[in-house]
Each structure stands twice: as C-alpha cells, then as structure tokens.
Structure 1
Amino acid sequence: MLSVRWLDPDPANFANWTLTWTLEHEGRGTRLFLVHEGFDPDDPAQMRARKIMDGGWRSHVMRALGQVLTDL
C-alpha cells in the first residue's frame, strides 16, 4: 500500500485529499486499487474537481499504467 496526502490550506483552492494505492493478489495476477478521498461533498468546486479527476484516473492514468506494464 502507498498512501499520499495532498494538502493545500489556501481557502481559494483548499484541498485535504489522500490517494491510496493498494495491490492485492488475485488468481495468477495482481489487482490494483486506487482510492482518492477527502473531497468536501458540500463544496461545488471540490465536487467538480472530483468528477474531473475521476475521469482522469479511469482513462488516462490507468491506460498509461497498463501500457507501461505491457511494455515490461
């Protein structure tokens, strides 16, 4: 497990997020889990950021990670 905290106390861009990557054995392989938490559900700006980042994690980051693993 790798967990990283992202803290920006600036009220204009406040963020207190934690990214946690976990690897779990599954069958003959390994499954990667990613949890990005700490968004304030009452803050519209943070909910927009969450939606944008969710799409980025799912499409760009995971696709690029899959390509790196294929190339190994």
Structure 2
Amino acid sequence: MPNNSLDGITLEQLLVRLQARYGWPGLAQHVPIRCFQSEPSISSSLKFLRKTPWARTKVEQLFLDTDWT
C-alpha cells in the first residue's frame, strides 16, 4: 500500500478511536469477533488482536475504510 494511513498509529489508538466511533455493538457488527461481543474492553481486545493476525487485519481495514471527516 503506497500511502499507509496507519503509519504512526498504534493498535491501541486505532481501537480507541473505532470504539468511540462505533461503540462495542457497532464494532461487533462490523468485525464479528468475541472480544467485541462478550464483555468487551480495550485491554482484552488488544490482547486478542495482537495474537490474531486475521482479526487485526479486519480491524485495521475497518479503520482505513471509516470516513473520519
């Protein structure tokens, strides 16, 4: 990807922004993973996403696809 919009953004910053934008129910709808559906928290989601590359990719893609204007 020539212009990577994720440069300089940590996974935690990305997740905090997405959670503020969509809430846990919205995140679970966009990326249906258990860490967003059952007793979600930033710390538990970070732990899961750091160990699960396919889920992290989906969350990063949601961040890139979100209109932040």
Task: Give the TM-score normalised by the residue count of structure 2.
Answer: 0.30
Structure number with greater Rg is: 1
Task: Give the TM-score normalised by the residue count of structure 1.
Answer: 0.30
Say which structure is richer in strand: 1
Greater relative contact order (Cα < 8 A, sep 6+): 2
